[in-house]
Homo-oligomer: A and B are copies of this chain.
Amino acid sequence: MNHPPLKTRRFRLLLLVPGVIAIAAIAVSMNLQGQAVAAQNAKKKSHASSLVQFNKDGELVRPTGYRKWTYVGTPVTPNDMNGGNAPFPEFHSVYMSPDAFDHYENTGDFPDGTVIVKELVSVGDKEATSGIGYFMGEFVGLEVSMKDKTRYKDKPGNWAYFSFGHKYPLKDHAKAQPAASCNDCHDGSADDDFVFTQYYPVLRAAKNSTKSN
């Protein structure tokens, strides 16, 4: 065999070292970045599945953590303006699952897996240093709506509605209400899909900012 001189061979071998290190470094870097991207994507895809749970009977388990979701708006239907017995007592703080909100902001559509929580809050004071009006008192109820084309394929609009009660203590789980109780009204009167966006400027502003506009 015709070996190159020793010095040349050693030099070639040494030349390999930085190359191998660079490749290894790039591989490690790609792997770590890949993991980070995968984690980010997993986070992005965490629609309903990770935010709400169902019991073995298919009932929705009362969600938690929704007070850190994206706030959408607050109508108030006070008892004293509804004969002492408001259908939804009294403030309704409405939250939307953050990923669904981001999707809505990007596309103008409520994605499959959208969860909307309506937290009912009593009227506390009616006068404060900032004026006369209605000021929040205590939490009194919780309702949830959810769009799921698979689970609620037979519901109008694929939306299901759940009530955990209008007074405390709330129920721990709830089954989807009959379409006549909720879907029909939402279908007939809500401005966008089955959502009353006409009362939620946050949603209208988000839709107006969509990339398609």
Contacts and interface: CB of A to CB of B under 8 A. Distances in A.
A180 interface: no
A94 to B, nearest CB: 10
A128 B71 contact: no
Contacts of A93: 71, 73-74, 202
A26 to B, nearest CB: 9
A212 interface: no
A102 B73 CA distance: 22
The bracket for how many chain A residues form the interface is: 35 or more
Interface in A120-155: 121, 124-125, 128-139
Number of copies: 2
A interface SS class: mixed
Contacts of A82: 131-133
Interface string A85-97: 0111011110100
Interface stretch (A11-19, A47-55, A170-178): A11-19
B16 A134 contact: no
A43 interface: no
Interface stretch (A106-114, A159-167, A193-201): A193-201
Contacts of A189: 128-129
A86 B21 contact: no
Interface string A20-56: 1100110011001100100000000000000000000
A125 B134 CA distance: 16
Contact of A130 (B9, B87, B135): B87
A32 B32 CA distance: 8
